[in-house]
Structure 1
Amino acid sequence: MDRFAKYLLTALICIVALGQFVQVITRYVLQVPVMGLEETMLYPTLWLYIFGAVNASRENTHIRANVLEIFISTEKGHTILAIVGEIISLIVGLWLLSWAWDFTRYAWRVWKESPTLYIPTFYSDVALVVGIALMMIYTAWHLWTHVRTLTGRAGA
């Protein structure tokens, strides 16, 4: 999974960078903007953003402001704090997932298209529900890991 995520994110970054490079060269150097390039760049850019968040969730490297860790001196206390944080993240994330699922159903029903190239926007809209679902899976996994650490079964 690590290898797949690495290659996927690298490919998306390259696609976005190449698209921006083409846009700059054609628009500012050649004075001939490529019609619809912004529309086509929306898709890999949005998927890159979502999968970047999923990757941070997978690696458990999201930016946190754990001020309470300053006042907790034991490892057990840190683990309990991590469990509470993961539970809150799971509750909020599942609520957002239900909202994203409603949005995805709406996007499927309406089936909007981009204004210039008529590309269905559903293919970018669905990134939200996919990304949040993956983040919730990783959050549940990290919660499970913390609970196992707290109960002393981490090595078992």
Structure 2
Amino acid sequence: MNIIHTIWSSLLVIQRVIMILSSAFILIGLGVTVVLRYVFQTGLHGLEELMIIPAFWMYFIGAAYGTYKKEHITADIVSVYLKGEKKRLWLQLIISLINFSLISIFAYWSIEYIIWSISSGASSNVWKYPMYVPQSSILVGFGLMTLYTLVELVKNIINLSHYKS
């Protein structure tokens, strides 16, 4: 069990590092763009294209991390009106099952998208990097979201099975 905890913790650390580095690269890129444009009255052709890579990674890893932390906006008014803990546990189970189902579909589509992107050989206009470099963040992000919602689903099943009236 210790190895699982270590892997889980390491995964979260890696996600935080990716989010921090991506944010820093975006800020540096924007800063360079502003300085070049307004101080030197010039620009660096293709800089915006390079900033797409950290932007994709920040967005999708951030979405995965938000899924793990469950610190997103919800409108769960139904649980307020439900009477009884068992009904609330069932509601949480149904919600997590729906979430898992939808995110699994999106993860499957992201696999199909990356396969298509690789097979099409698409590359960026200026720097000619393969487009699957930023787009692979979609697959990684949805893969992590699938993992986190699966863990939540299993926890909700366990909570419901251990409930005593």
TM-score in terms of structure 1 length: 0.91
Q: Please tell me whether residue 64 in structure 1 is matched to residue 74 in structure 2.
A: yes
Query: Contact 2:57 / 2:134 at 8 angstroms: preserved in 1?
Result: yes
1:39 equivalent in structure 2: 49
Q: Counterparts in 2 of 1:103-122, with a 5 A limit?
A: 103-122=113-132
2:156 equivalent in structure 1: 146
Q: Counterparts in 2 of 1:4-19, with a 5 A limit?
A: 4-19=14-29
Residue 109 of structure 1: how far off its partner (Å): 0.2
Residue 87 of structure 1: how far off its partner (Å): 0.5
Gapped regions of structure 1 (runs ≥ 5): none
2:59 equivalent in structure 1: 49
1:34, 1:9 → 2: CA distance? 25
2:83, 2:30 → 1: CA distance? 48
What's the C-alpha RMSD, in Å, of the aligned pairs? 1.5
1:24-81 C-alpha deviation (Å, 9 max, x unpaired)? 1111222111111001000000110000000011112232211211211333322221
1:75, 1:34 → 2: CA distance? 59
Query: Contact 2:18 / 2:57 at 8 angstroms: preserved in 1?
Result: no
Following superposition, which runs of at least 4 residues in structure 1 exceed 4 angstroms of deviation? none
Gapped regions of structure 2 (runs ≥ 5): 1-8
Q: Identity rate of aligned residues, in percent?
A: 23
1:107, 1:99 → 2: CA distance? 12
TM-score in terms of structure 2 length: 0.86
Query: Contact 2:19 / 2:57 at 8 angstroms: preserved in 1?
Result: no
